Amino acid sequence: MKEKINAFLSSGLLEKYLIGETNFGETTLVETNIAKYPEVQNAYNTLQYNLEVVAKSNAVEAPKHVLNNILDELDDAPVISLKKSKKYKSWYKYSIAASIATLIFAGTSYLFYTQNQKLAQENQIVVEEIFDLRDDIESNNKKLDDVMYQFQQLNNPETYKYIMQGNSRAKDLKTVAYINPIEKTSLIDVVSLPQLPEEQCYQIWADLQGKMVSLGILSESDRQLRAIPYTENALALNITIEPKGGNTTASLENTVAAINLQ
């Protein structure tokens, strides 16, 4: 039974099910195994949590809606109402009516010409916005690829999760590091960082046999799952308070969080 469960977990069906890529038969198989085996349920819950971590750090705003702009412009178009001309018995009255009709026709023609010019400009705007949307789609596809890569890294069995919480100097500080020594990758998720004075910043370091190697600056305004340099044989991770812009040497007396990696 255990071999059957392990084979199912290694098949990748859970991941496909989570992102909606399973067919009817695969969906039925996954849901049956989730309901039947607690090990599968736990693995599914873990995948859901990891996907939420990746998704919340890669929020994307939806593109502007083109159709509303066109409808707003069309709503502003004037409406022309034509009144029926009364019949006159005298010939000169018909001449006056004909002249008025000519003027109305000329005015209507000019109005249509103006509207055509306006629509031509709007069509050009639509074309330009379509090209912008294509650029947005390409950008979003790249972001989606990044999200899937991060999702795979989080679910890799060789990836270790380290939670770093602040000491008394930064009680609300919390970050999560994901390190894979096999693929030599490191990711960090900034969950919360207490606000610092403008002239200070948080900096993360790797302890490499007593030598502190900078892995970058952490910012509350940059709360997303992101890659940090992987350091071979690092013994620990430290977060310190440094002058704005970062420091070349770690101020260990200003350490606010630390965790052992060995």
| Domains in the chain: boundaries | 2-56, 66-153, 160-260
Contacts of 25 (CB under 8 A, 6+ apart): none
134 burial (CB, 10 Å; 0-12 / 13-18 / 19+) is: exposed
Q: Residue 120 has what pLDDT?
A: 73
Is the pTM higher than 0.85? The answer reads no
Percent of the chain topping pLDDT 90: 29
- Whether 159 has a pLDDT exceeding 60, the answer reads yes
- Whether 90 has a pLDDT exceeding 50, the answer reads no
Q: Residue 145 has what pLDDT?
A: 73
Band the pLDDT of 106: cuts 50, 70, 90. low
Q: Residue 105 has what pLDDT?
A: 59
The rounded mean pLDDT for the chain is 79
- The 3-class SS string of 49-74 reads HHHHHHHHCCCCCCCCCHHHHHHHHH
- Whether 57 has a pLDDT exceeding 70, the answer reads no
Instruction: Please say whether the dihedral angle defined by the alpha carbons of residues 14, 20, 26 and 32, taken in this order, is positive or negative.
Output: positive
Band the pLDDT of 97: cuts 50, 70, 90. low
Count Cβ atoms below 10 Å from residue 69 Cβ, excluding itself: 14
Estimate to the nearest angstrom the gap between the alpha carbon of 224 and the chain centroid.
10
Lowest mean pLDDT among 82-96, 185-199, 241-255: 82-96
Of the candidates 146, 164, 161, the residue with the CA atom closest to the CA atom of residue 50: 161
- Whether 254 has a pLDDT exceeding 80, the answer reads yes
- Whether 85 has a pLDDT exceeding 70, the answer reads no
As beta bridge partners, residue 213 has: 206
Lowest mean pLDDT among 127-131, 173-177, 201-205, 246-250: 127-131
- What's the average model confidence in pLDDT over 175-198? 91
As beta bridge partners, residue 226 has: 188
